[in-house]
Amino acid sequence: NAGVTQTPKFQVLKTGQSMTLQCAQDMNHEYMSWYRQDPGMGLRLIHYSVGAGITDQGEVPNGYNVSRSTTEDFPLRLLSAAPSQTSVYFCASSYSWLAGAQPNTDTQYFGPGTRLTVL
Amino acid sequence: AQSVTQLDSQVPVFEEAPVELRCNYSSSVSVYLFWYVQYPNQGLQLLLKYLSGSTLVESINGFEAEFNKSQTSFHLRKPSVHISDTAEYFCAVRANYGGSQGNLIFGKGTKLSVKP
């Protein structure tokens, strides 16, 4: 298994440009999520999905869109990039989002991250 | 809703000294607790987790954490650190009550710096 993969690893955008960060997992996980990591802020949840066709907002969703057309893929779209979106973005997945699911399948697995700079 | 407080943003320590990274959480329901580690320029890796049972959990590289329900804490400890333990450590919680939203909530991280 490749686990959770993210592309690209690095990206530089100009203000106002749009782009899509790709995330894929090959573990047949129901739950996928996107976080952003900023210095001193830890990881903050942007959007998440509990299954194909189902998405919801996290703590910091503004400026980002997601879709989940397949179980494997969960792309994150920046509609009009702003310097405040300069960050490291992590995708994660786990077997299930439901509390009370079998505990051994509850661990979230993280991708290697995408470092995004918006000028 | 859940929240996590990591009490120290940076912890400098000498090699072979003991270390404790503190984590407190707040939740109205029972939680699962996790510690993740992030080595420089890498993604997050699960270090250890508490789901149920014994309140003391251990990792393969000598770290341990103890779930203290009365103090709502999940502090991470290692009796003797190595240079290679230099990393940022994140405490995280997730609700374990059936039907509750199961998103992982992170603390702001603690940077452990091990000096020779």
Q: Is the pLDDT of residue A76 over 60?
A: yes
Mean pLDDT calculated for residue range A2-18: 95
State residue B43's pLDDT score: 87
User: Which chain A residue's Cα is nearest to B40?
Assistant: A112
* Contact at CB, A40 and B108, closer than 8 angstroms: yes
**Residue from the list B97, B102, B108 with its beta carbon closest to the beta carbon of A42:** B108
Residue range B38-49: mean pLDDT, rounded: 90
For the cut 80, the answer to whether the pLDDT of residue A91 exceeds it is yes
Using an 8 Å CB-CB cutoff, list chain A residues near B106: 35, 42-44
Question: Which of B23, B30, B44, B52 is the mutation pick for testing A, counting most A CBs within 10 A?
Answer: B44
- Residue A104, pLDDT > 60, answer no
Residue bearing the bigger pLDDT, A1 or B21: B21
Residue B83 has pLDDT above 80, yes or no: yes
Distance from CA of A80 to the nearest CA of B (A): 26
Residue B98 is predicted with a pLDDT of 59
The C-alpha atoms of residue A28 and residue A109 are separated, in whole angstroms, by: 12
Answer whether A34 touches B (CB < 8 Å).
no
Q: A42 - beta bridge partners?
A: A38
- Identify the pLDDT of residue A40: 86
Mean pLDDT of A29-37: 94
Give the mean model confidence (pLDDT) for residues B25-33. 88
